[in-house]
């Protein structure tokens, strides 16, 4: 019985490895992206900090422009909240949080350039006027989740970039 279990485990691992499956966060960025400068976001921005963590997990580092081999540029950054639905009494029932931006990657001396990509992430949540404190917690949790998702999408694109 143990042999069968061990054999099945090995078989599953081989099948997953054979189809290209990787755990999230596993992998290394291509060599030209190992030393990145980030522009368009302040270093205190939560997205910048999340991106820095994601890059470090991929074996890359965020460096000043003089040391960078590539630049990750952010533009048209917009985030906020808008009303999605209103009840019969005129009170807000549901909000949508959104995060939008465009980013592009280029080599310092224009050796390469990846096409600009626009990301548009959003999350809806039910609003209850009687639970104001929980609304703030819910909003910050959803914003954090959107930032994590954005960083994962950026990392996926950077990992699969062809030079």
DSSP sequence for 15-52? HHHHTT---TT-----GGGSEEEEESS-TTSHHHHHHH
pLDDT of residue 26: 59
What pLDDT band is residue 130 in, cutting at 50, 70 and 90?
confident
What pLDDT band is residue 70 in, cutting at 50, 70 and 90?
very high
Between 71 and 162, the higher pLDDT residue: 71
pLDDT above 90 (res 8) = no
Q: Cβ of 55: how many Cβ atoms within 10 Å?
A: 23
Quick one: tokens of 58?
A: 């991929």
In the chain, where are the structural domains located?
24-159
What pLDDT band is residue 157 in, cutting at 50, 70 and 90?
very high
pLDDT above 90 (res 107) = yes
d(CA 151, CA 108): 22
> 72, 139, 148, 151: which is closest to 112 by C-alpha?
72
What pLDDT band is residue 10 in, cutting at 50, 70 and 90?
low
* CATH classification for the domain delimited by 24-159, as one of 3.30.160.150, 3.40.1350.10, 3.30.499.10, 3.90.1150.10: 3.30.160.150
What pLDDT band is residue 97 in, cutting at 50, 70 and 90?
very high
Percentage of residues of the chain with pLDDT beyond 70? 90
pLDDT of residue 73: 97
pLDDT above 80 (res 12) = no
Mean pLDDT of 41-56: 96
pLDDT above 70 (res 25) = no
């Amino acid at each position: 019985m143990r042999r069968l279990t061990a054999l099945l485990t090995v078989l599953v691992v081989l099948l997953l490895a054979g189809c290209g499956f990787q755990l999230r966060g596993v992998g290394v960025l291509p060599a030209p992206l190992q030393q990145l400068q980030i522009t368009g976001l302040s270093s205190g921005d939560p997205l910048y900090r999340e991106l820095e963590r994601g890059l470090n997990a991929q074996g890359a580092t965020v460096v000043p422009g003089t040391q960078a081999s590539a630049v990750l540029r952010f533009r048209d950054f917009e985030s906020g909240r808008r009303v999605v639905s209103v009840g019969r009494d005129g009170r807000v029932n549901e909000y949508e949080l959104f995060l939008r931006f465009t980013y592009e990657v280029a080599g310092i001396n224009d050796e390469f350039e990846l096409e600009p990509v626009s990301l548009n992430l959003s999350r809806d949540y039910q609003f209850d006027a009687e639970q104001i404190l929980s609304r703030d917690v819910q909003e910050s949790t959803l914003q954090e989740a959107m930032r994590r998702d954005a960083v994962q999408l950026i990392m996926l694109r950077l990992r699969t970039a062809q030079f």
